[in-house]
Amino acid sequence: MSNEINKAVQEAAPEFDSKVVPAMREAIVMVQMVLYRHLREDIQTRYQDWSDQKKTWMAGAVVNNLFGTEAADPEVGRFASEHRQLIEEELRELNSRMGDLVPIFTDALRMQTICDNQEGIHSISSLLMAKELGLLEEERVLPMPSTFMIAVRKLGAENGLVEAAEMEADEQKNNEQNENGQKGNGQD
C-alpha cells in the first residue's frame, strides 16, 4: 500500500463532513456515467463486429473494474468474468484513450475512497490499481468537496447529463453563500 495515498486519505477523512457523503457519491456516479459514455463511443468504433449489447457490457465492466464496484446487472458480471483479459487491456489503454479525463478520475477515486473510509469500507485498492494503470495523478491536490462537485457538474453539463442552466443556478447560489459568509466574517 502506498504510504502517500494512505496518508492523504487519513488526513482528508477527518475534515470530511459525513453529511456530504451522499452528495459526493452522486458526483462520483456522474464521473462514472461520463466515463461510461466516452468508453461506449470509443468501444463502438473499435469493436464493430460485436453486438451493441456486448459493447455496452464491455464499457460497464471497465467502469465497474476501475471504481471497484459490483455489476448491478448479472449479465455484465458474467461478461466481465469471461473477458477478464480484454477488460484489463482496456484499463491499461484508458490513459491513452481518455487522458483528458484522468484529473477527474483522480479526484473521483480519491473522493470515493474518502467516502468509503467514512463508512468503514476499505477501498484503497482502487486507488492503487489506478496508480498502477497511470490513471492517478498523485501530485494533484485533493480538491475541497464543493470544488469537486462544481467540476463534476460542469463535466456533466458538457456531456449532457446535467442541464447547463441548473449548473449555473447552483454556482450562483454557491457564490452568494460564499459572499454572505465573507460579509459575516467582516471580510467585505
pLDDT of residue 15: 55
Say if residue 111 is exposed, middle or buried (CB neighbours under 10 Å; 0-12, 13-18, 19+). buried
Chain-centroid distance of CA 28 in Å reads 4
Task: Provide the whole-model pTM.
Answer: 0.78
Domains of the chain by residue range: 3-142
Cα–Cα distance for residue pair 101/178, rounded to 1 Å? 28
pLDDT digits (tens, 9 = 90+) for 64-80: 999 999 888 898 899 99
Three cell numbers at 39? 468508453
Say if residue 149 is exposed, middle or buried (CB neighbours under 10 Å; 0-12, 13-18, 19+). buried
Please name which of 104, 93, 175, 90 lies closest in space to residue 137, comparing C-alpha atoms: 104
Cα–Cα distance for residue pair 137/42, rounded to 1 Å? 23
pLDDT digits (tens, 9 = 90+) for 6-58: 565 555 554 556 678 899 999 999 999 999 999 999 999 999 999 999 999 99
